[in-house]
């Protein structure tokens, strides 16, 4: 068994001449909480897209769960146990909250092409309701996802990523647009996650990020400039240079 969950080697991605991600090396160990920070345009979301398989790298290799997945399509990576959230909520607007969570649970479970619902679906549905409870949507199960408020959509987004019981969870700015109270709930929820799950997190809210993370990677112009514990990050002058003079894009 390989000891790292995520291993990126010399990973690069350029769009029409712009280097969004440049020669990134990274290792994330099982159960780790890793925050990826950096100003807007630092290449954080592109990095997530590369790990999740939504985009193909220009160069370099990606290993997930000790296996080279560089050429594996996104849906197969998801089946290996990877789940993600998106920067803007990507819930399924035509389905109810419960159906959103059920479809998410079914995705990793396999058997998408069954034409008869069976006992497995009953189990998946109860898992979906459990996830709704965890993210605080237990009383909105029957509501259509398009009728949810912004905050509720963020909750559902998180539920969709968690219900599949992934081994690796990529969270892209889960706190964006949330109220202070909602942020606290989110932090609690993330802290309560099982240690079987490895979490990678992009977040502009430093309070949320540094409370949850054990290690932090700072990105700037597509490169990793620094990696360390939250305490080291707080103390490092370069981090202040990168962020100072820039408006916090929250």
Partner 1 sequence: MRAYTTARWIVLAVIGIMVTLLPELSPTYVSSSIALPTLTTGLCAISLTFLSTYGGLVSLAQTGLFGVAGLLAASLAVESHVDPALAGLIGIAAAATAGLLFGALASSSTGTYFLMITLALGEISYYLFSAVPAFGLHEGINAVFPPSWLGDPVRHPTAIYYFILLVAVGFHLLLRYLVRTPFGMALQGVRDDPERMTALGYNVRVHRTLAFALAAAIAGTAGVLAAWTNTRISADSISLGVTIGVLEAAVIGGMYSLEGAWIGAFTLTVLSIYGPAFTDRYATVLGILFLAIVLVSPGGLTGVLTSIDRRVRHALSNQQLPALADRGASEQPRG
Partner 2 sequence: METRGGRRSTEGEGAPERGGAWARWRGRAWARWRGLLSRGQLAVGRSASVAGALAVLSAAWVFYQVFDAGLGESGNVPNFIIITLNALSLAGLFFLAASGLTLIFGLMRVVNMAHGSLYLLGGYIAWSLTSSLGVNWWVAVIVATLAAGVFGLAMEELFLRWNLGQDLRQALITIALSVILADQMLNVFGGTAQQVSPPDLLAGPVGLGIYDLSYPAFRLFVVGVALAVGIALWFWIQRTRFGMVVRAGIDDGAMTSALGVNVRAVFAVAFFVGSCLAGLGGAFGGTVLSLAPGQDQVFLVSSIVVVIIGGMGSLAGAAIGALLLAFVEQYSAVYLPSGFGPYSMVVTFVLVAAVLALKPTGLFGRPA
123-162 residues in contact with partner 1 (CB under 8 A) are 143-144, 146-147, 160
Q: Which does 177 bind (CB under 5 to 8 A by kind): partner 2, partner 1, none?
A: none
Where is 87: in which H helix or E strand?
A: none
Edge-first strand order for the sheet with 82-84 is 82-84, 168-172, 198-202, 33-37, 215-220, 223-228
Instruction: Take residue 93 and report the two structure tokens written for it.
Output: 């607007």
CB neighbours of residue 122 within 10 Å: 10
* CA–CA distance, 70 with 6 (Å, rounded to integer): 12
Tell me the helix, strand and coil percentages in the chain, rounded to 5: 40, 25, 35
Give yes or no for residue 115 binding partner 1 (CB under 8 A).
yes
Residue 15 binds partner 1 (CB under 8 A): no
Q: How far is the CB of 245 from partner 1 (least distance, A)?
A: 35
| Contact residue for partner 2 among 112, 142, 180, 195 (CB under 8 A) | 112
71-90 binders of partner 2 (CB under 8 A): 71-73, 75-76, 79-81
- For partner 1, the binding residue among 27, 58, 72, 79 (CB under 8 A) is 79
Asked if 6 interacts with partner 1 (CB under 8 A), we say no
Length of the chain counted residue by residue: 250
- The CA angle 160-165-168, to the nearest 5 degrees, is 95
| Residues lying near partner 1 in the complex (CB under 8 A) | 52, 54, 73-76, 78-79, 83-84, 86, 90-96, 99, 102-104, 106-108, 110-117, 121, 143-144, 146-147, 160, 164
| Residues lying near partner 2 in the complex (CB under 8 A) | 71-73, 75-76, 79-81, 108-114, 120
């Amino acid at each position: 068994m390989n000891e790292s969950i995520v291993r990126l080697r010399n990973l690069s991605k350029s769009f029409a001449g712009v280097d969004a991600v440049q020669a990134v090396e990274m290792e994330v160990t099982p159960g780790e909480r890793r925050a990826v920070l950096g100003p807007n345009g630092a290449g954080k979301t592109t990095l997530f897209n590369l790990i999740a398989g939504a985009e193909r790298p220009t160069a370099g290799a990606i290993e997930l769960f000790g296996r080279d997945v560089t050429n594996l399509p996104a849906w197969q990576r998801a089946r290996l146990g990877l789940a993600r959230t998106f920067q803007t909520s990507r819930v399924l607007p035509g389905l109810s909250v419960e159906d959103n969570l059920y479809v998410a649970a079914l995705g990793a479970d396999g058997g998408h092409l069954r034409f008869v619902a069976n006992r497995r679906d009953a189990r998946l549905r109860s898992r979906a309701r459990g996830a709704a409870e965890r993210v605080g949507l237990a009383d909105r199960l029957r509501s259509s996802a398009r009728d949810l408020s912004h905050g509720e959509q963020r909750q559902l987004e998180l539920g969709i990523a968690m219900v599949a019981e992934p081994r690796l969870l990529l969270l892209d700015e889960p706190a964006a647009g949330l109220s202070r109270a909602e942020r606290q709930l989110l932090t609690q929820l993330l802290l309560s996650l099982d240690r079987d799950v490895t979490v990678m997190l992009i977040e502009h809210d430093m309070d949320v990020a540094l409370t949850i993370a054990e290690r932090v990677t700072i990105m700037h112009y597509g490169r990793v400039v620094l990696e360390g514990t939250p305490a080291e990050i707080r103390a490092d002058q370069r981090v202040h240079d990168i962020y100072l003079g820039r408006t916090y894009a929250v």
